[in-house]
Structure 1
Amino acid sequence: MSTADFIGIVGVICYQVAYAGLQLGRLQRDGKFYFYLNLFGPCCLLYSLVFHFNLAAAVSQLLWLMWSVVGVVVTARARRRQAVPTAGSGGDPDRSAALGSNSPM
């Protein structure tokens, strides 16, 4: 087995672990490990395809990689929005008052 084949198989294992983990409830759809597996998998397979090219497989892996990156960005933005407290949102009362919140305490 060549190095390229071995790396491609590692990519397939990443896909399978991500999918099985999701189906069995061991991984969360927005969890970091799930994203890492879905980013690393197509990278491994694309590396393998450099040596044993197949156009359909390359297109599939590029699309998988693109959607995985989109998922990481969307989830990161959602987490950032949740982490930023807004005035009057029940966060720090002193900070809410300093920001001009008129809500009663």
Structure 2
Amino acid sequence: MNIPDVVGITGVICYQIAYAGLQLGRFQQDDLRYIGLNLLGPACLLYSLVFDFNLAALITQVLWLGITVLGLVQTMRARRRRIPRFDQRCMNNE
């Protein structure tokens, strides 16, 4: 087994941990661990595809990464909206 295979298998493991965590209630959709695993998984598989190309797998991984990045952006925006902002009146009433 070579390094690209090990990296690719690591990516598959990331996918499986993310999916199992979501299904078993360990992760939520907006959990950064879940999102991180969904970023790392396709990144590892894309690396392995450089050495053993497969067009269908490439398309799948690129789409998976893109959708995950959109989810990350949406999660970050939602978290910013939930964080209470202190205005000047609050800071003066310390």
**In structure 2, how many angstroms separate the alpha carbons of the residues matched to 1:17 and 1:25?**
12
Counting aligned pairs with the same residue, the percent is 59
**In structure 1, how many angstroms separate the alpha carbons of the residues matched to 2:86 and 2:52?**
52
Structure 2 counterpart SS, 1:28: coil
**In structure 2, how many angstroms separate the alpha carbons of the residues matched to 1:75 and 1:53?**
32
Q: Tell me which residue corresponds to 1:66.
A: 66
TM-score by length of 1: 0.81
* Structure 1: gaps (5+ residues): 88-93, 99-105
**Bigger Rg, structure 1 or 2:** 1
TM-score by length of 2: 0.90
Which whole-Å deviations, capped at 9, do the CAs of 1:43-89 have from their partners, x for residues lacking one? 000000000000000000000000010000000001001114488xx
* AA in 1 matched with 2:62: L
The structure 1 segments of at least 4 consecutive aligned residues displaced by more than 3 Å after TM superposition are: 84-87
Q: Tell me which residue corresponds to 1:102.
A: none
Structure 2 counterpart SS, 1:17: helix
Greater RCO (Cα-Cα under 8 Å, separation 6 or more): 2
How many pairs align? 91
Q: Tell me which residue corresponds to 1:29.
A: 29
**In structure 2, how many angstroms separate the alpha carbons of the residues matched to 1:46 and 1:84?**
39
Following TM superposition, by how much is the alpha carbon of 1:28 offset from its aligned partner in structure 2, in angstroms? 1.3
* Structure 2: gaps (5+ residues): none
